Amino acid sequence: MAETATPVLSVRNLRVEFPLRRGTLSAVDDLSFDIAAGEVLGVVGESGAGKSLTGAAVIGLLEPPGRIGGGEVRLHGERIDNLPPSRMRKIRGRHIGMVFQDPLTSLNPLFTIGEQLVETIVTHTGLGAAAARRRAIDLLAEVGIPAPAERVDSYPHQFSGGMRQRAVIALALCAEPQLVIADEPTTALDVSVQAQIIAVLKRICAEHGAAVMLITHDMGVIAETADRVAVMYAGRLAEIGPVDAVVRHARHPYTQGLMGSIPKLDSEEARLVQIDGAMPRLTAIPPGCAFHPRCPHAFDRCHVDRPEPMPAGRTDMACWLALQDAVPEALAEGRS
């Protein structure tokens, strides 16, 4: 992890909530993490874990009636979660770039790729139209678009899925933001294109010194790209730590289950690890540890007291097993 006095992004005790007729639903609850300059933090978990909501909360794009109900978000030490919309619009694009999951909905089909890039560059940097166009061509070349001087005048429908995703990455980088949030950037792409997109993100992080929040459900993408991993479950942080520690020596039973469910080419095991049950509905999260109904190692305290993230080897995990002398190793080695 890169060392810095002030993280690019600091999230503390974040709570994202939705008011309902009979109370308030907490979709993200008491979430805390930092991302340093030049670091890629992978945020992973099952669908419904709160990954994309966290990214939307950071960039200020929560859909009403969703709202930040507690905690704070700081960019380079400045609090941004309580800014008025007009101020937040100046931060979005200029200081925080966003790579959305579906490039088709991120690009306007009525305008060329170049027109959309030039408009963004002019808005956030003050460059003239000619200089902005040159910058747009350079960005397309940087993300691997062939013949960028010609393709800059193409419309989104004239690009393949992988090229559209590269264009969206270029759009997110227009103003050289300090933080890039990439929400499922490799979804629906074939494996070879996924590898290319991952390489682009890693190179951008290294060359621009940007912090990257990579949201995905694919642990393979995390293993290839991230420096650290935050595992979420039911809107809460389950485990966070260096990627090699989480991927190879997971401590939290949920993370162990995720890793054990991935086929290994060098393993002769006939069966993969199975996590019984399903993630609870956000309106019916059980007391204590939210994972305890599915956990093979749950004991009495897990049913009553909610654990906070605590040191467990090289990671921090929200599990009472961290207070015991030994975390069960059977699942950690990918065996059931």
DSSP-H helix ranges across the chain: 51-59, 85-91, 103-106, 113-125, 129-142, 148-151, 161-172, 191-208, 219-225, 243-248, 253-260
Task: Give the number of other Cβ atoms within 10 Å of residue 61's Cβ.
Answer: 14
Query: In the sheet where 78-79 sits, what is the strand order?
Result: 23-35, 9-20, 67-75, 78-79
For the entire predicted model, the pTM comes to 0.89
Please tell me which residue, 333 or 191, carries the higher pLDDT value.
191
pLDDT one-digit tens code per residue, 243-261: 999 988 899 999 999 888 8
Q: What is the pLDDT of residue 1?
A: 44
pLDDT average, residue stretch 177-192:
85
Give 101's pLDDT tier (boundaries 50, 70, 90): confident
pLDDT one-digit tens code per residue, 274-310: 888 999 998 899 999 999 999 999 999 999 999 999 9
Q: What is the pLDDT of residue 270?
A: 66
Domains of the chain: 35-66+84-231 (3.40.50.300), 248-323 (no CATH)
pLDDT average, residue stretch 192-209:
80
Whether the per-residue pLDDT at 334 is higher than 50: the answer is no
Please tell me which residue, 169 or 273, carries the higher pLDDT value.
169
Q: What is the pLDDT of residue 140?
A: 93
Give 4's pLDDT tier (boundaries 50, 70, 90): very low
How far is Cα of residue 283 from the mean position of the Cα atoms in its chain? 24
Whether the per-residue pLDDT at 56 is higher than 90: the answer is yes
